[in-house]
Chain A
């Protein structure tokens, strides 16, 4: 069995891509390993992250955010997205990074989370990159910058940069949302 697979089983770090990887390894088909997925890469502070492009609805500039009282601080508020009111989350705050000023490169990535739209504030959006699934490495078992280990599906070494692959849906899963509701109460 490949390192990837044994790592997964040992550390129980399975997610969609991992499952595919594991299945691929078990099936032993070399070609599938070269299957590519597309990621949107963005920066928060010094770190660069990637998320599956299929989940991204749109990327917009910062707009007026209406504050919602009595919510955790990483919830910046809500915005009007062409007639729909969607919540906006600051990933900086969520990752416990120091606050920074928004500038012309700040963007909001609007994602489809379980059929609900949510927006995430990021410092800048770089590009859409295509990588082969085989390029995804397991995350190093040290906690990086306050992100829950669960939400990291892997890291990628791409053009001399290290990209941390995020699984935002886990971060804002329904359990998370329930504990949010409890927190607010």
Chain B
């Protein structure tokens, strides 16, 4: 390996390790605020900062060394009990950590910028100046530990074969963290080593490049399609050959392979699952800062951090969640005085939780603030020209709440820095939709609101209901299907120009997919038709099809950029016989069905 290569690996290792350490520091700092004299937490934070300093020193990142060194000094005093945590110290430490993150980011981007660090250093020095006598003894330590820590990063070069193998298998070479702390621990009695490595090795994990997992997923998707094809062929040839033992054996083989494929698929899908806590972890900090900036008091509670979801969903869900939390703090929560006047506890409560429900994950953001005011919303929507008075007249509370997701909507008079630009909610909805999820809102005036995000666990392979519409085969995602009905043609009625079906005391709006998709019909006078009732949140729509073909697991294939915007179609899949079948997008159909209603209602 050339020198350049090694340096690159060291740098990448440094960046990854530091990112992890800083995350832990974030978590620990928030814990520290709640229990300021917990020595364990102080020790952990100290060790993390110390490790970062050591690595930075080895790689000669001067600015970083300066900041971490001062931070470490303060933390050392704290963990020894010579200083006690107060607001000023917390703020200084947080500022220092932020600066460290900024410097590391600069390094990651490849451009080392001369950031002004004097301000932060001065603050830290001021804190240190309060308590002089101890300075000599603790000057000695950093020097000693610095020399120890300069060895760990160099170990990768001389490490034994096992470590190198890991380097080949997983592009992350820095398996160093687990080892050096333990060897150093034997030599030095002081507690100044990083325990970051130790925590990491609690559950043995392997760092793998995300792209490799994605490639594996794609292959498994292909395997699922070929498996379907094989099953198809198998059932085709059942009647053909008279060689019973062959068909028997082959049939069994197909079943076994099918089973193994399903298992493989499950396992690969699980590989991509990450705990939602990864996203949730940044919220305590966000809430703390926001509440402080807004002058409100808020407490964040988090539940269900261990709930797992697909990595790609985790990547995309962060922004919508941040927006919703910001909204909760900015719009929903009242000021401390208002709350007390209303008989509520002074500190507002925001709850972020996640749980599994069937094949979905439900993420909820709940607040005990003002709640949504349907009158205010209606008035604003009317004013913005988003709805007409007639349309409003027929809307129930749910539909009024849904108005907030329309582009250009915002009830905040003052556009604050944080929210109120009227852009947010519809972007949130779009982002959630992109993940094939839906967003619901529940609210009670004066009591609070809850936003629910319902997301599917898997994106690429879905259970689908195969249907036939006048000879053409389509797939409807089973997750949206509520029930299927076989109806006689004359059971359809017409209400206000739309076809509906009487279903258990309510009228189910219908959509004839034959018309929607412009399919030329074979038999316009069919007596019996099938209605597939699809639902998205509380909305229902009955899709009229010719025949139901059965349930099948299919791998979603994108239609490509050229055909990305075809209305009502979410993608395509390849059937067992090699033909392409289009996948219907129930949510879009329901939306377009509603637009129909609004258009017709406003024409009255």
A-to-B contact residues, CB < 8 Å: 64, 66-71, 75, 77-80, 83-87, 116-118, 172, 177, 180-181, 184-185
Contact = CB atoms under 8 A, between A and B. Distances in A.
Minimum-distance CB pairs A-B, first 10: A69-B517, A66-B580, A181-B565, A85-B557, A85-B572, A80-B580, A80-B574, A69-B518, A78-B580, A87-B562
Most buried by B among A69, A70, A87: A69
B345 interface: no
A79 B562 contact: no
Given A78-B580, A79-B580, A184-B567, A66 B561 contact: no
Contacts, number: 74
Given A85-B580, A116-B560, A69 B516 contact: yes
Interface in B555-604: 557-569, 572, 574, 578-582
B559 A116 contact: no
B225 interface: yes
A70 B472 CA distance: 15
A169 to B, nearest CB: 12
Interface string B208-243: 000000000000001001000000000000000000
B519 interface: yes
Given A78-B580, A80-B574, A80-B579, A68 B565 contact: no
Contact of B574 (A69, A83, A117, A185): A83
A184 B559 CA distance: 15
A66 B557 contact: no
Contacts of A68: 559, 563, 566, 569, 582
Contacts of B516: 69
Contacts of B568: 69-70
Contacts of B225: 83
A180 to B, nearest CB: 7
A87 B567 contact: no
Given A69-B516, A78-B559, A87-B560, A185 B580 contact: no
B544 to A, nearest CB: 15
Given A69-B516, A70-B566, A86 B582 contact: no
27 contacts: A64-B579, A66-B472, A66-B572, A66-B580, A67-B519, A68-B563, A68-B569, A69-B518, A69-B519, A69-B566, A69-B569, A70-B517, A70-B568, A78-B559, A78-B563, A80-B578, A83-B225, A85-B574, A87-B559, A87-B562, A116-B560, A116-B561, A116-B562, A117-B560, A118-B562, A181-B564, A185-B565
Contact of A86 (B560, B565, B578, B581): B560
A70 B567 contact: yes
A78 B517 contact: no
A84 B225 CA distance: 11
A85 B559 contact: yes
A118 to B, nearest CB: 7
Contacts of B562: 87, 116, 118, 172, 177, 180
Contacts of B517: 69-70
Contact of A84 (B557, B578, B579, B582): B557
Contacts of B564: 181
Contacts of B572: 66, 78, 85
A181 B565 CA distance: 6
